[in-house]
């Protein structure tokens, strides 16, 4: 329960809501190199990092160039970091892959259990979705910022 409270998704929940959440949460171990989720697959599980490190990856494959590899996006190392939030949003398909960067311990919540909890407690659902929207907006701003940097690099190379 203490670990769940470190996760941005559950910010603002009440003690009884955390209790309900902990009842549908299990603990798992995963070895270095093991994939937790695969980009493009059905999103059926949400993970919260307890110990270790997890790398987020996205596949780059080209029509114009002959490339096909997993591009690293980030490494999650903080207890409470979560993986697999696509399990909360239609069409429930993972948008990234996640692979253990070190031997890790995680909490796991099955998607149907979580959706069910949100449907029976709309206040919890509203709070979690608000937290998720805030997180996604931040990621979107960061990604737009990266695009701007690329844009400026191209602008500079055309000027020089």
Compute the distance between CA of residue 124 and CA of residue 22 in angstroms, rounded to an integer.
Answer: 14
Report if residue 31 touches a copy of itself, rule: CB under 8 A.
no
Judge whether 43 and 115 are in contact, CB under 8 Å.
no
Restricting to residues 40-59, which ones interact with a copy of itself according to CB under 8 A? 58
Here the tokens at position 99 are: 């692979």
Report if residue 151 touches a copy of itself, rule: CB under 8 A.
yes
Residue 72, Ramachandran bin (φ over 0: left; ψ between -120 and 50: alpha; else beta) = beta
Compute the distance between CA of residue 160 and CA of residue 154 in angstroms, rounded to an integer.
Answer: 10
Here the tokens at position 88 are: 């909360």
Restricting to residues 110-129, which ones interact with a copy of itself according to CB under 8 A? 118, 122-123, 125-126, 129
Restricting to residues 73-102, which ones interact with a copy of itself according to CB under 8 A? 86, 88-90, 95
Report if residue 148 touches a copy of itself, rule: CB under 8 A.
yes
In the complex, the residues that contact a copy of itself under the rule CB under 8 A are 58, 60, 62, 64-65, 67, 71, 86, 88-90, 95, 118, 122-123, 125-126, 129-130, 132-134, 136-137, 139-141, 143-144, 146-148, 150-152, 154-156, 159
């Amino acid at each position: 329960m203490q670990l769940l409270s470190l996760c941005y998704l559950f910010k603002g929940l009440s003690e009884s809501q955390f209790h309900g959440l902990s009842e549908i949460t299990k603990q798992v171990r995963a070895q270095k190199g093991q994939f937790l989720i695969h980009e493009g697959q059905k999103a059926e599980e949400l993970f919260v990092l307890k110990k270790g490190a997890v790398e987020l990856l996205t596949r780059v494959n080209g029509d114009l160039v002959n490339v096909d590899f997993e591009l690293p996006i980030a490494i999650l190392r903080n207890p409470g970091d979560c993986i697999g939030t696509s399990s909360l949003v239609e069409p429930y398909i993972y948008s990234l892959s996640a692979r253990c960067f070190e031997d890790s311990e995680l909490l796991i919540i099955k998607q149907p259990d979580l959706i069910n909890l949100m449907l029976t407690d709309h206040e919890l659902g509203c709070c979690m979705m608000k937290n998720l929207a805030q997180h996604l907006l931040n990621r979107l701003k960061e990604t737009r910022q990266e695009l701007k940097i690329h844009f400026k690099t191209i602008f500079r190379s055309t000027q020089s």
